């Protein structure tokens, strides 16, 4: 069973969202997602200042098996992409919910439609994970 | 490979297996009005005996003209070993094989090719080739738009000293994806002037393409222009002749930091002139842009027992994995011509290539000197050239070329179509294949043709 921290929000497409004290959110891919992808060899994160909409492909994670898009769970402006991933993409495999964050976004409106940890666990159970 | 024919019984069995009565039935979905019965202008099929006779009649019509046309495709001596080896059964294929890793020899050859082209251009990585030089410019432009994240404009500067066909092909290929190709006119001396670029200061420009030697054979101030562009976060796409790189500074060393992408036409490396193709294109880049590079890339690795092996790598960029978001629809390479080029380069070696380049340069200087001694002929542009130059005649070029052709000499390319502003301009080229006697023949014939043109 994948690790699904209770204090985060999730999407059907395996992104996680962490609300930060300053009103911005941190976004990454879940432990399940990194496990399914396998060893990551390249990560392409968005530039600060980019405007993203919900469901927009805004980052790419490439493993030895596949290159996959990461979809923004929220609408808003990118504050930062994780600068450490370019040189160390394996950080996502090692610490998907921590040092492996992909980007920080300032939401342009109240964030809705995300899954709780329980709901995401149900999604994983349905996928047979 | 086994030859496996389909007998009538096989075909019947296959049709029965999928529950279809005839092959025709498989195509029933296509409406009758969309079907082509015959192709206009294409004659009926001929049998083997008829086609053999037709082709030998056509072959007899071929001349053996003395050729002084370059303009993007160049006549060089090709050592006999090049095509003797290329056409061996082990190599004789146009394709990267499916299940590529089963063909280690082919992959090793492509790896060697990549190494040689990367080394010639002075950049870190090469792919396994593209279709030709012109489409390589289109691919490089699309790549620049993907890789230059500081620019959003998709504006590509293309000086008119770049081959006209390259500019047309790039625009036709990439304009549909929103790229805008903006022509920068050359002011004088047949070169891009850095002053003419000042108008773009402060604007969002994605890339500038720069051909060296340029379409007129002239040498651009590539260092200054590269520095100008890179200081403004504008990518530089170098278009280079691989033979010239044996003498000239490689694009990886232009200016203070080198270019971002180098492309070019590979034909001069062992591929014969052949009615415009097939030729092959090459593309190289810095390591930081490798994931935006289109096409196949062969890498070297080790197997489970630590032995060297070769493999297709970075395939996650490609269509079969990335689908619509692939870096390019190019997912193959010009295998056969690249095989010839790799063998050509390995036979010539760096010194051989340098001798070819130096001899071509010397022959062209000799040609220009001989031709500009003729009344009514002068050089269009001053300054250094590689193995081509533009001449200006005091009469229209086409009738003069016609007279030369009737004497078995292809005198060059008439530029009046693509560059009417130059007047009666003729682009000429001499490579190492031309002797002093050839140059004398051309000079005498041109002198006669000019006299005849004046008398007419």
Residues 6 or more apart in contact with residue B63 via CB below 8 angstroms: B408
| Nearest-neighbour CA in chain B from A112: distance (Å) | 28
CA distance B210 to A57: 34
**Do B327 and B374 share a domain, yes or no?**
no
**Do B297 and B397 share a domain, yes or no?**
no
Q: Residues B218-249: pLDDT tens digits?
A: 999 999 999 999 999 999 999 999 999 999 99
In angstroms, the Cα distances linking B122 to A32, B119, B141, B316 are 42, 5, 20, 26
Number of domains within chain B: 2
Tell whether omega for the bond before B213 is within 30 degrees of 0, i.e. cis: yes
Cα torsion B365, B366, B372, B377: sign: negative
Token pair 């160049």 is at which residue? Answer: B74
To which H or E segment does residue B271 belong? Answer: none
**Could you list the residue range(s) of the whole structural domain that residue B377 is in?**
66-71+358-455
Closest chain B residue to the Cα of A42, Cα to Cα: B291
Query: Which residues of chain A lie closer than 8 angstroms to B322, CB-CB?
Result: 67
- pLDDT (0 to 100) of residue B63: 85
CATH number of the structural domain spanning residue B225: 3.40.640.10
Percent of chain B with pLDDT over 70: 99
- pLDDT (0 to 100) of residue B186: 85
Q: Which residue among B320, B343, B366 closes a domain?
A: B343
pLDDT beyond 90 at B254: yes
**Is A83:A67 a contact under the CB 8 Å cutoff?**
no
Average pLDDT over residues B252-267: 98
Residue A71 has, within 13 A of its CA and on its CB side, a CA count of 10
Confidence of residue B318 (pLDDT cuts 50, 70, 90): confident
3-state secondary structure of A120: helix
B321:A63 CB<8 A: no
Q: Residues A28-58: pLDDT tens digits?
A: 999 999 999 999 999 999 999 999 999 999 9
Average pLDDT over residues B406-417: 97
Average pLDDT over residues B303-312: 94
Q: Residues B39-67: pLDDT tens digits?
A: 888 888 999 999 999 999 999 998 889 99
Q: Identify the residue among B289, B297, B322, B326 best suited for mutation to test binding to A, counting A beta carbons within 10 A and taking the highest.
A: B322
- pLDDT (0 to 100) of residue A1: 56
Give DSSP secondary structure letters for B59-118: HHH---PEE---TT-------HHHHHHHTSTTT--SSPPSSGGG-HHHHHHHHHHHHHHH
Task: Give domain status of residue B348, yes or no.
Answer: no
Q: Identify the residue among B152, B291, B313 best suited for mutation to test binding to A, counting A beta carbons within 10 A and taking the highest.
A: B291
ipTM of the complex: 0.76
pLDDT beyond 80 at B94: no
A62:B325 CB<8 A: no
Q: Which residue, B222, B213, B182, is CA-closest to B199?
A: B182
* Chain A residues interacting with chain B (CB cutoff of 8 angstroms): 42, 44, 47, 57, 62-63, 65-67, 69
Query: Which residues of chain A lie closer than 8 angstroms to B317, CB-CB?
Result: 67
**Do B374 and B329 share a domain, yes or no?**
no
| Nearest-neighbour CA in chain B from A5: distance (Å) | 30
Q: Which residue among B343, B368, B385 closes a domain?
A: B343
Confidence of residue A65 (pLDDT cuts 50, 70, 90): confident
Average pLDDT over residues B318-328: 81
CA distance B326 to B332: 13
Q: B162: which 2 tokens?
A: 């770049």
Q: Residues B162-211: pLDDT tens digits?
A: 999 999 999 999 999 999 999 999 877 899 999 999 999 999 999 999 99
Percent of chain A with pLDDT over 70: 98
**Do B336 and B439 share a domain, yes or no?**
no
Least confident of A103-107, B101-105, B318-322, B422-426: B318-322
- pLDDT (0 to 100) of residue A64: 81
CA distance B347 to B340: 10
> Which is higher by pLDDT, B324 or B59?
B59
Minimal Cβ distance to B291: which of A42, A47, A65:
A42
The end-to-end CA distance of chain A, in Å, is 7
- pLDDT (0 to 100) of residue B443: 98
Confidence of residue B19 (pLDDT cuts 50, 70, 90): very high
**Is B139:B209 a contact under the CB 8 Å cutoff?**
no
Confidence of residue A101 (pLDDT cuts 50, 70, 90): very high
CA distance B193 to B232: 17
**Do B376 and B404 share a domain, yes or no?**
yes
Q: Which residue, B321, B259, B326, B264, is CA-closest to B292?
A: B326
Task: Give domain status of residue B272, yes or no.
Answer: yes
A67:B316 CB<8 A: yes
B146: exposed, middle or buried (C-beta count within 10 Å: 0-12, 13-18, 19+)?
Answer: middle
Least confident of B145-154, B330-339, B430-439: B330-339
Tell whether omega for the bond before B380 is within 30 degrees of 0, i.e. cis: no
Q: Identify the residue among A67, A78, A81 best suited for mutation to test binding to B, counting B beta carbons within 10 A and taking the highest.
A: A67
Neighbours of B251 (CB within 10 A): 29
To which H or E segment does residue A26 belong? Answer: strand A25-29
CATH number of the structural domain spanning residue B382: 3.90.1150.10
pLDDT averaged over chain B?
Answer: 94
Residues 6 or more apart in contact with residue B147 via CB below 8 angstroms: B235, B260, B289, B292
CB of B373 within 8 Å of a chain A CB? The answer is no
Average pLDDT over residues B67-89: 97
| All structural domains of chain A | 9-126 (2.40.50.100)
- pLDDT (0 to 100) of residue B274: 86
């Amino acid at each position: 069973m994948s690790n699904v921290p209770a204090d985060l929000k999730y999407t059907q497409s395996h992104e996680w969202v962490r609300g930060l004290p300053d009103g911005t959110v941190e976004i990454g891919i879940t432990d399940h997602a990194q496990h399914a992808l396998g060893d990551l060899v390249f990560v392409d994160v968005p530039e600060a200042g980019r405007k993203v909409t919900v469901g927009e492909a805004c980052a790419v994670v490439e493993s030895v098996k596949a290159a996959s898009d990461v979809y923004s769970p929220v609408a808003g402006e990118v504050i930062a992409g994780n600068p450490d991933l370019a040189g160390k993409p394996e950080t996502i495999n090692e610490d998907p919910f921590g040092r492996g964050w992909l980007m920080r976004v300032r939401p342009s409106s109240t964030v809705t439609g995300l899954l709780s940890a329980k709901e995401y666990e149900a999604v994983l159970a349905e996928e047979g994970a | 490979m086994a030859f496996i024919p389909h007998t009538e019984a096989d075909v019947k069995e296959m049709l029965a297996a999928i529950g279809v009565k005839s092959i025709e039935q498989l195509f029933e979905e296509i409406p009758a009005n969309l079907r082509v019965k015959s192709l206009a202008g294409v004659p009926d099929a001929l049998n083997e005996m008829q086609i053999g006779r037709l082709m030998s009649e056509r072959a007899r019509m071929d001349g053996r003209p003395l050729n002084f046309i370059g303009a993007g495709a160049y006549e060089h001596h090709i050592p006999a070993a090049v095509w003797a080896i290329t056409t061996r059964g082990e190599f004789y294929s146009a394709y990267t094989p499916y299940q590529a890793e089963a063909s280690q020899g082919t992959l090793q050859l492509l790896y060697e090719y990549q190494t040689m082209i990367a080394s010639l251009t002075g950049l870190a990585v090469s792919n396994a080739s593209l279709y030709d030089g012109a489409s390589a410019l289109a691919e490089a432009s699309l790549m620049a738009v993907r890789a230059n994240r500081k620019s959003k404009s998709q504006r590509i500067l293309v000086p008119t000293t770049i081959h006209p066909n390259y500019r047309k092909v790039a625009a036709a290929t990439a304009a549909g994806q929103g790229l805008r190709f903006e022509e920068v006119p050359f002011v004088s001396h047949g070169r891009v002037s850095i002053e003419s670029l000042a108008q773009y200061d402060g604007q969002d420009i994605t890339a500038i393409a720069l051909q060296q030697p340029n379409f007129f054979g002239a040498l651009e101030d590539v260092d200054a222009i590269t520095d100008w562009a890179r200081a403004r976060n504008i990518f530089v796409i170098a278009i280079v002749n691989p033979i010239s790189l044996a003498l000239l500074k490689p694009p990886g060393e232009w200016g203070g930091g080198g270019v971002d992408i180098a492309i070019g036409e590979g034909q001069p490396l062992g591929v014969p002139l052949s009615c415009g193709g097939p030729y092959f294109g090459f593309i190289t880049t810095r390591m930081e842009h490798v994931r935006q590079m289109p096409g196949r890339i062969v890498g070297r690795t080790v197997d489970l027992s630590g032995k060297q092996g070769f493999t297709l790598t970075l395939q996650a960029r490609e269509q079969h994995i990335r689908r619509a978001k692939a870096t390019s629809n190019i997912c193959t390479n010009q295998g056969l011509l690249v095989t010839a080029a790799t063998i050509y380069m390995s036979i010539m070696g760096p010194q051989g290539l340098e001798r070819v380049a130096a001899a071509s340069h010397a022959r062209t200087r000799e040609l220009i000197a001989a031709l500009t001694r003729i009344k009514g002929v002068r050089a269009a542009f001053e300054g250094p050239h590689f193995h081509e130059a533009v001449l200006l005649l005091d009469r229209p070029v086409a009738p003069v070329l016609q007279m030369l052709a009737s004497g078995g000499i292809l005198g060059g390319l008439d530029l009046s179509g693509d560059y009417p502003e130059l007047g009666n301009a003729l682009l000429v080229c001499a490579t190492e294949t031309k002797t002093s006697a050839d140059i004398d023949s051309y000079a005498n014939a041109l002198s006669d043709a000019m006299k005849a043109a004046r008398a007419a």
